[in-house]
Each structure stands twice: as structure tokens, then as C-alpha cells.
Structure 1
Amino acid sequence: MLTNLSIKNYALIDHLNVTFTNGFTVITGETGAGKSILLGGLSLVLGKRADLSSLRVKDSKCIVEAEFEVSKYGLESFFEDNDLDYEKKTIIRREILPSGKSRAFINDSPVTLDILSQLGAQLIDVHSQHQTMRLADNDFQLKVIDALADNEKALTKYRAKLETYQSTLKELNALIDYQDKATKEHEYNSFLLQELNAAPLKLGILEELEEQYEQLNNVEIILEHLSHGQQLLNDEQMGVVNVLTELTQVSNKLAGFGNQYTDINERIKSVLIELDDVANELNLLGDKVEADPKLLEEVGAKLQLLYDLQKKHKAQDIQELLEIRDKLAATVSATENVATDIERKRKELQALEASLTTAADHISKKRSSIIPKLKKQLEDALVELGMASATFQIKLESSKGFKPTGRDELTFLFSANKGSAYGDLKKVASGGELSRIMLTIKAILARYVQLPTLMFDEIDTGVSGEISNKMGDIMQDMGNTMQVFSITHLPQVAAKGAQHYKVYKEEELMGTNTKMKRLSGEERIMELAEMLGGKTLSDSALAHARQLLD
């Protein structure tokens, strides 16, 4: 519900601040007084794009602020999803700067125009004659039927299933695409994997093989050095071991002359033991080293294989080759298992499709059951609005695909006169007829769902006094349960309002200024009389105005 509207520096409005209440509110004023300007300012907080030419004073910013009571609209999730502070009294503000930039705020949090527009659509529904084309939109028509059929919960569950179905279908198609692509590469990937599996891949293997290759490839040099080492240690006359043995004998004789000689003796013995062990090790190594051309060839082949694999896969080391092997193994395995995955996903999709079909059929059944009631309510209401011969043909037919609205194809046809062919609303109904149909539909909807604030912008244009009186009755009745505005030129409608505001212009020093005030008592009688008979107020016009109010 709109509770307050403040407009500053917009078109002919210098500063306007108006408070509204629930119920049916009428807004009147002479042509050109600024009623459209008022709607234009309101549209800014509903997400309409700003126009720099709308600034009254070009070097000052325009500010439009609207306060709404939103507790009945169930908008908590909207605020949470958009990271906004939820307040039962929500304030929307729009600023247009002299530079041409505009800013939007919801409860003082900056938002994009898209978010502002989404929220605005849930707070105020503006209707004028040219906007009644929505009547011909199938989605809107289905929303009307679903409201009467109480399909909201069923549609919510259906759409959740549809989202899962579409996600699963996407996964299935991705698997099929993967299979088509992977099948072509599978043979090559399998060959690469087999080649890597056949290689002696393990961490440190390259260093081991390179060391083994060096040893096998230099057997003669190694044997020569080992022999030379053995000779240096074990030569009978000048061998280090023999010399050290003699030195030990000398140190043994010195050991008895004090601790310092004993320490030297022990150290010399330790060196002898170590050198003797080294001599034995050299002998053993010499026995083990032998030329093995076959083993050398095998080690060389392994090394070359590893070098070739590194080059082929552009790998820096064995670790990268191992990672490539594991990745190929996963790819080959996935390719081999994808057929099983596809079959499992198809079965999953079939189960979801069956569940979706059941849900869609349930929604369709409820729609079909309510259509006769909607048809009767529409036609009965239009009789009261001077369309006694108006009839509708409303049919549901099942479609193959799943849509967010279900599986129904809706045909919503209209005939205004007896004997006239049925056709699409936008083709066979006049502007005035569309206005009355839209008003009727909104009135019916208001009995079943919580509608946003409705603002009817001169939808009663071109209708007779009696019909306008009936239209006023409908809007007045809707005002018993919700907030309804009607911008009107007809006194019969204006007299029905629980609140009556007048839009007017005043000439001031700064120029023409559009203002708005709430009328009561005699002011309202004067306004209605002027609407009935013009500026010159006659007794009959005043009497008629009082009669309308009574």
C-alpha cells in the first residue's frame, strides 16, 4: 500500500508531499493540470528510466520518494535474495542529478533499476487504456485462471521439478556430447595410456637409470681406478696398509709411556681398521664390476624411452609424466563408463518426466474446473458494464513440451456482439471494451489473491454516465479490501472515492507549479459540481454533486 509520496523538482512540481490511506482514492483535475506528471514522478520509483528534461530547475537534483506498507505482500524473500533490509514500511527513493545520472535506493541501500523495477511491479499496478493489451497475453490469462484455481503452491512445486528436470536434461546432453567427442579420441588416449603404463614410471627412476648407465658405460675406467686404489693400499713395500701396520707397531711401544701416547696409538689403530675396511670394499667392488653390454643396452633403452616420453608430452620431469598418465587413465575410464552414465541419466530423466507430467496434469485439471466459473463471472460482470452480449471462449489444450506455466496451451477468445465471430481480444475488442474487461478481471482477482495497489489512469474515458457509475461501484467495492486509485474525469466515479484528491496548477514567481490537495466537505461538492457543469456553478450542478456524494 502506498502511504506517502514526495516529489521535488520534477517537471511542473516544485515540492509535493501527499499522504494516502487504504481504500478507494480518486484523483481529479482539469486537463493539463498535471495528473500525468504525478504518474510520471511515481513511475520513477517504480523503475522507469530517468529523463534529464524532467528537471524543473536544471542545476538542482530531482528527488522522488515513496513509502509503502509491504507487510501483506510476502516480500521477505525478495529482500533477502537481493541483500536488502526488510522493513514493513519500505521507502523507495530515486534521485536524478543535473549531470543526467540517476540513483535508486530501497531502504537507503543503493540498487539497480532492474531490482527497483522488480519490486515496483509487486507494489503498484498502473492501468491505462493502452496498457490493457496485456489482456491478450497468454501468460497473463493463465495467471488469472491460476489465481482462481488456487494453483500457486502446485505451480511452485511443479517449477521446482521442472528446474531439476532441465538440469538433468542438460547433464544428459553434456554426457552425450562428451561421448561423441571422447569416442573419437578414445583410441588415441588408450594408446598413450598403454605407452605410459609400459614405461618404468616412478619417482627417482630417471636418476637411478642415469647412474646405472654411467657405471655400465664406463666399466674399464672404473676397474682401472679400483685396481689402482687397491695397489695404493695393499702394495707389499709401499702400500698404505702395510706402512700403517708398521706405524701401529711403533705406537704400541710408545703407549706405555703415558696417556698422550696411548691416545695416539688408539687413533692410529682406528685409521688402520678404517683403511683395512676400505681395502676390502675396493676388492669387493672390483669383483662386482664387469662389462654387461646387454644390460647397458637395456638401461639405455629405458632411459631413451623416458626421454622420448618427456619430449612427447612436454613434461619437465617424471612427476609431470605421472600426472599425465593419471589424467589419461581417468579420461579413458570416463569414456568407457559414459555409456553407463548416459543410461542411468536417461532413466533418471524418465522418472522426472513422469513426475512432471503428473504435476502438470494436476494443474491443468484445476484450471479446467475453474474456467466455467471464470467465464460466467466475466460475462455477468460485463452485463453490468453495458456489454450484455459479450461472451468468451476459453479452452485448454495439452502441449508436448514442459513450460514454466505447465503443459497447457490456452485459447482465450472474445465476442462483443451476438452473431460476431470469436477472435483475439486485441483484435476484436475496442479500447473502451478492453478497459472494462481489465477492470472486471482485476475485480475478480482481488477476491482470490492479494493484489498490489491498483492505479487506474482514466480507464473510464469514453463511457456513458451509467456505465461509469457501475465502474465506480466496482472500484469502490475493490477498495473495501485493498488500495485502489482512479484518475478520472467522470463525477460519477469521483463521487465513489473514500478519499478525493485534486491536482491543480498555480502561477507563482518561479513559474507554474503543479500541486495536489485532499478535498473534503464543501470542497469536494464544488469539485464534483465543476466536473458536472463547468466553472460556472449552477444550483442544479451543486445539487447533483450532493446527490452523487450521498
Structure 2
Amino acid sequence: MLTHLSIKNFALIDDLNVSFSRGFTTITGETGAGKSILLDGLSMVLGKRADLSSLRDTERKCIIEAGFEVGSFELQPLFEKLDLDYELHTIIRREILPSGKSRAFVNDVPVTLDILTQLGRRLIDIHSQHQTLQLTEQDFQLKVIDAIADNRKLLSAYSDKLKRFRKLQAELEDLKEQQQAALKEQDYNGFLLQELREARLEPGIQEELESEYEALNNVEVIMEQLGAGDQLLNDEQVGVLTLLRELRNASQKLTGFGPKYQSLNERIQALIIEADDIADEFSALERSVESDPRQLELVGNQLRTLYDLQKKHGVTGIDDLLAIREELEKKVSSSEDLEEKINSREKELSALVLSLDSLSDELHSRRLKVLPEFAERMEKRLHPLGMPNASFKLELVPSREYKSSGKETLSLLFSANKGTGYGDLKKIASGGELSRIMLTIKSILAEYEPLPTMMFDEIDTGVSGEISSRMGDIMMGMSKSMQIFTITHLPQVASKGDQHFKVYKIDEDGVTHTKMKALDTEERILELAQMLGGNDVSDSAVAHARQLLN
């Protein structure tokens, strides 16, 4: 419920503060007084885009603020979804700065226009001539039928399944595209992977092969140097071992002269042990080293393979090749994983199709039962509204696709006069007829589901007298369960409001201002009398006005 509206520095409005109550509120005023400005300001709070032309004084910012009681609208899940603090009294504020920048806030939390729009459409439904075209939209038509058929839970289950179905369809399409791309690369990737596998790559293998190649390629030099080393170590005259043994003999004779000489002898003995070990190593290496042209060729080929692979893949080391091999193994094996994923998604999709078809059939059955009731109620309520011959023909048309509300569309055909054929509402109904039909539909909807605050903008255009009074009665009836506003030029409608506001213009210091005020009983009588007979109010007009208020 809209509890208050504050507008500052917007179009012809300098500063406006007004509070609203429950029930039926009527708004009147002469043409051009600024009723449309009021609606534009309210629309800004609901997410309409703004520009600098909206500012009355371009040196000051424009502020529009609206307060809502939201406790009866079950909006807490929406607030959570939009990441907003849920408060029973919610305040929406919109600001337009002199720079042209626009800002929006919900309970003082900055929000985007998209969030504002999502929340706004759940708080106020502004009915205008443009919105009447919603009548021709099948989603809206089915919404009315579903409300009468009490399909809310069924539609919720269908919607959940449909979301999953569409998500799976997208995933499956993506997986199949991946599979096609993988198949195109499969042979080539398999060939590259085989090359890398045959190379028997291991960390450090290149360094090992390069060392082995150098040793095999220089075997004569190695044998020559090993022989020279063996000679230096083992020569009986001047070999290292011979000299060390002589040195040990000398040191042993000193060991009795104190610990330091004993230590020196032990160190020399250690040298001899190490030299003996080195000599054995030289001998063993000398015996093991031999020329092996075949092994040299084999190692050389292995190295060339590694170098060629590095050049082919544009890398500089074995670790890079190992990483490429791992990636190729993933790609090659991914096609098998993709096949499993595709099969899994297809099985789940098949199960969802069965479930969606079952839910669609149940929706169809329940809708079919209430179509005659809906047509009858519409015709019955339109007859007193100057459409005595209004007639509807409704038919559920099967669809091959899953739509947002089932697997069918609603064909709603209309005839305004006897003897004339049925046709689309948009083509054969006048603007006034569309307005009355929309009012009737929304009055039926209000009986089945909680609707937001509803504001009718001159929905009674094109009617007068008794018909307008009956339209007022419909809105008054709707206001028993929801908050209703109507902007009207008809006294028969204006008189039915629980609260009556007048929008008017005044000139102050050469500047025009739009104002709005709540009328007390006497002011309402005067306003209604002027609407009946013009500015020259007669006694009969006042009497008629009093009678209307009665």
C-alpha cells in the first residue's frame, strides 16, 4: 500500500507532500492541471528513466520519495533475491542531480534501475491506455485463467521444471559443440600425444642423455685420462700411493711424542684410504669404458627427438613438454567424458520432458474447466457497463514448444455486437471497450490473488452517466481488498472515493506551480458540482453533488 508521496523540484511541482489511506482514492483536476506530472513522478520511483528536463530548477536536485506498507504482499523472498533489507515500511527514493546523473535507493540502500523496476512492479500497477494493450498478450490472458483455476502451485512446479529443462538444454548444446570441436582435433591431438609418449619423457632425462652422449662421444679422451690417473696413483717409484705410504712411515715414528703427532699420523692414514679408493675407482672406470658406436647413435637419436619436439611445440625444456603431454591427455580423454556427460544430460532431459508434459496436461485440464466460467463472468460484468452484447470465445491452442505457462496458448476472441463475427481484441475493440474489459478482468483477478496497489489513469474515458457510475462501483468493490487510485474527469466516479484529492495549478510571482490537496466534505461537494456544471456552480449542481456523495 502506498502510504505517502513526496516530490521536490520536478516539472511544475516545487514541493509536494501527501499521505494516502487504504481503500479507494479518487484524483481529479482540470485538464493540464498536472495529473500526468504526478503519475510521471510516481513512475520515476518505480524505475522509469529520467533526464534533466524533469528538473524544475536545474540548479537543484530533484527528489521523489514514496513510502509503502509491504507486509501483505509476501515480498520477503523478493527482497532477499534482490539483496535488500526487508522492512514492513519500505521507502523508495529517486534523485536526479543537476549533472543529469540519477540515483535510486530502497530503505537508504543504493540500487540499480533494474532492481527498482523489479520491486516497483510488485508494489504499484499503473493502468494507462498503453497498458490496456496488455489485454492482447497471451501471458496476461492465461494469468487470469490460472488465477480462477487456482493453478499457482502447479505453475510453480512447472516453472521450476522448465528452468531446469532450459538450463539442461543449454548445457547439452554446449557439450555437443565441445564434442564436435574435440572430434575435429581428436586425431591430431592423438598423434601429438603418441609422439610425446614414445619419447618416454621424464623430469631430468635431457640432462642425463646429454651427459651420456658427451661421455660416449669422447670415450678415447676419457680412457686416456683414466689411464694417466691410474699411473699417477699406482706408479711404484713416484706414484701418489707410494709417496703417501712413505709419508705414513715417517709420521708413525713421531706418534710417541705426543697427541698432535698421533693426530697427524691419523690424517695421513685417512689420505691413504681415500687415495686407495680413488685408485680402485680409476681402475674400475678404465675397465668399464669402451667405445659403443651403437649406444652413441641411440642416445643421439633420443636427444634429437627431444630437441625436435621442443622446437615443434615452441618450448625450451622437458618440463614444458611434460605439461603439454598432460594437457593433450586431458583433451584426448575429455571426449570420453563428454560422451558420458551428454548421455547423462539426455537422460535427465527425457525425464523432464515426461514431467513437463504431465504438468502441462494437468494445467490444460484445469484451464479447460474454467474457460466457460470466465467467459460467462466477463460477459455478465460487462453488460451493465454499456456492452450488453459483449461475447467471448476462448480456446486453448496446443503448442509444440514449452512456453512459460505451459504447452499451449490461449485464443481469446471478442465480439461487441450481435450478428458480428469474433475477432482479436486489438483489432475490433475500441479504446473505451478495452478499458472496460481490462477493469473487469482485474476486478476478477482481485478476487483470486493479492494484487499490488492499482492506479487507473482515466480508465473511464469514453463513458459517462450510469456506466461511469458502475465502473466506479467496480473499483470501489476492488478497494475492499486492495488500495485503488483512479484519476478521473467524471463526478460519478470521483464521488465514490473514500479519499478525494484535487490537482490544480496556481501562479505565484509569475511562476506556475502544480499543487495537490485532500478535499474535505464541503470541498468535495464544490469540486463535484464544478465537474457537473462548470465554474458557475448552481444550486442544482450542488444538490446533485450532495446526492452523489450520498
TM-score, scaled to structure 2 = 0.97
Secondary structure at 2:254 match in 1: helix
Which deviations, in whole Å up to 9, do the C-alpha atoms of 1:108-154 show, x marking residues without a partner? 12222222222221111111234311111111111111222222222
- The aligned counterpart of 1:265 is 265
8 A contact 1:472–1:493 mirrored in 2: yes
Deviation of 1:401 (Å): 1.0
Q: CA–CA distance in 2 between the matches of 1:417 and 1:528?
A: 34
Alpha-carbon distance between aligned partners in 1 of 2:266 and 2:50, rounded to the nearest angstrom: 103
Deviates more, 1:421-430 or 1:174-183: 174-183
1:104 maps to 2:108? no
Question: d(CA) in 1 for partners of 2:489 and 2:497?
Answer: 13
Amino acid at match of 1:302: Q
Give, as a single letter, the amino acid of the residue that structure 2 aligns with 1:55: L
CA displacement at 1:99 relative to structure 2: 2.5
Indicate the residue corresponding to 1:547 in structure 2: 547
Could you tell me how far apart the structure 2 residues matched to 1:100 and 1:181 are? 49
**1:334 corresponds to which letter in structure 2?**
S
Paired residue secondary structure (2:536): coil
Q: Secondary structure of the residue that 2:417 maps to in structure 1?
A: coil
Tell me if the contact between 1:66 and 1:91 (Cα under 8 Å) persists in the aligned partners.
Answer: yes
Residues 1:398 and 2:398 aligned together: yes
2:375 and 2:392 in contact (8 A); partners too: yes
The alignment covers a number of residue pairs equal to: 550
Q: Deviations over 1:396-419 (max 9, x none)?
A: 121111122211121111000011
Misfit runs of 4+, over 6 Å: none
- On the 8 A contact 1:129/1:432 being kept in 2, the answer is no
Equivalent runs, 1:257-406 vs 2, <5 Å = 257-336=257-336, 338-406=338-406
Q: Can you list the C-alpha shifts for 1:209-246, whole angstroms capped at 9, x where unaligned?
A: 11111111111111111111111111111111111112
> Aligned pair 1:425/2:438, yes or no?
no
CA RMSD of aligned residues (A): 1.6
Work out the CA distance in 1 between the residues paired with 2:244 and 2:451: 112
Equivalent residue for 2:512?
Answer: 512
Distance 1:47 1:344 in 2: 43
Q: CA deviation at 1:7?
A: 1.1
* Residue number in structure 1 paired with 2:25: 25
CA distance in 1, matches of 2:199, 2:210: 15
Q: Given that residues 69 and 90 in structure 1 are in contact (C-alpha distance below 8 angstroms), is that contact kept between their aligned partners in structure 2?
A: yes
Please give the secondary structure, in 1, of the residue aligned with 2:253.
Answer: helix
Corresponding residue of 2:472: 472
Q: Partner of 1:434 in structure 2?
A: 434
Structure 2 unmatched ranges of 5 or more: none
Q: Which amino acid aligns with 2:107?
A: N
**Hey, what's the Cα distance between the residues in 1 that align with 2:493 and 2:541?**
16
The residue identity in structure 2 corresponding to 1:540 is: S
Would you say the 8 A contact 1:130–1:431 is kept in 2?
Answer: no
Q: Matches of 1:115 and 1:470 in 2, distance apart?
A: 38
Instruction: Give SS of 1:26's match.
Output: strand
| Distance (whole Å) between structure 2 residues aligned to residue 170 and residue 532 of structure 1 | 62
* Matched position secondary structure for 2:193: helix
Given residue 153 of structure 1, which amino acid in structure 2 is its aligned partner? K
SS at match of 1:142: helix
Larger deviation: 408-417 or 243-252? 243-252
Residue 455 of structure 2 aligns to a residue in which SS? strand
Q: Give the superposition deviation at 1:510.
A: 5.3
Q: Which residue of 2 aligns with 1:144?
A: 144
**1:444-486 residue CA offsets vs partner (Å, 9 max, x unmatched):** 0000111111111111122130101100110111111110011
Unaligned runs of 5+ in 1: none
> Which residue pairs with 1:176 in the alignment?
176
SS for the counterpart of 1:408 is strand
Tell me what 1:9 maps to. Answer: 9
Residues 62-82 of structure 1: CA deviation (Å, up to 9, x unaligned): 211111111112222222222
Amino acid at match of 1:139: D
- 8 Å CA contact retained: 1:132, 1:434: yes
Aligned residue type for 2:76 = E
2:114 match: 114
The more displaced of 282-291 and 144-153 is: 144-153
Question: How far apart are residue 339 of structure 1 and its match?
Answer: 4.0
Aligned counterparts of 1:35 and 1:339: Cα–Cα separation in 2: 64
Distance in structure 2 (CA, Å) of the matches to 1:341 and 1:534:
76
Please state whether the residue corresponding to 2:41 is helix, strand or coil.
helix
* Residue pair 2:226, 2:282 contacting (<8 A) in 1 also: yes
Q: Is 2:196 the counterpart of 1:205?
A: no
CA distance in 2, matches of 1:248, 1:54: 110
Give me the whole-angstrom Cα distance separating, in 2, the residues matched to 1:337 and 1:99: 56
